[in-house]
A = this chain, B = another copy of it.
Amino acid sequence: MALNGDAPFRDDGPEAIKAARVRWRRRQIVDAATGLLIRVGFQRMLITDLAKEAGVSVGTIYQYVDSKEDILTLIVRDILETYRAEVPAAMEGIEDPIERLEAGFRAYCSIVDERRAATLLAYQEGKNVPKKGLEDLKNMELETNSYFADCIREAVAQGRACCAEPDLTAFNLTMLAHTWALKHWYLKTHFSLDEYIKLQLGAVLRSIVSDDYHDAYKHLTGVAKA
């Protein structure tokens, strides 16, 4: 069985029907699981309950998933695909590296917000996620970091920013996005997602944007310094 529900090469015929059903069922399972996971955590998410929540039988779940842990893998894979599809797309075609960074950060935060539940999993259920999934996740994170870091380096090269540790700054940005999910219990009482994005990006940019460009990026850095 395994999880290689990789897309079939043709999009019709019995193969395609099967593949479509697999995708449909896995979506049912992933969606139901994400909800339960957030509510009760991995350990207390019983397969029985998951089946009820997903509206299928226990047996059906095991027809599309190898084990309870594999469900986490499925969820992780789902986030990964979303990230990889949306973040680069959002950044594409923007010349100004600082503006590109903003677009990327905003996209990243938006995904985190939409799939807050799933984002938490990597932190909360790290011990339960199979090795491979965790690896993929870490790599994806590093990949995103490098997108961000590239923007920063480019900005530095163009004199727009001054940053001794572009990688750390990029890292901070992804972490700030995760933080929206990790500390949502606190943040939601003070800020909307938009405010959060604006404020945090502003703070980061204020610490790197060159004095000469402060005015140029006033719409991003927010508060005028002087």
Contact = CB atoms under 8 A, between A and B. Distances in A.
Contacts of A123: 123-124, 182
Kindly state the interface size class of chain A when it binds its partner.
35 or more
A106 B175 CA distance: 20
Secondary structure class of chain A's binding surface, majority of residues: helix
Contacts of A44: 127
Contact of A169 (B40, B175, B203): B203
A164 B222 contact: yes
A185 interface: yes
Contact of A127 (B41, B175, B183, B226): B41
A85 B124 CA distance: 28
Interface in A186-226: 186-187, 190-191, 199-200, 202-204, 206-208, 210-211, 222-223, 225-226
Given A41-B127, A206-B208, A211-B225, 7 more contacts: A142-B186, A164-B223, A165-B199, A168-B190, A171-B187, A203-B204, A204-B207
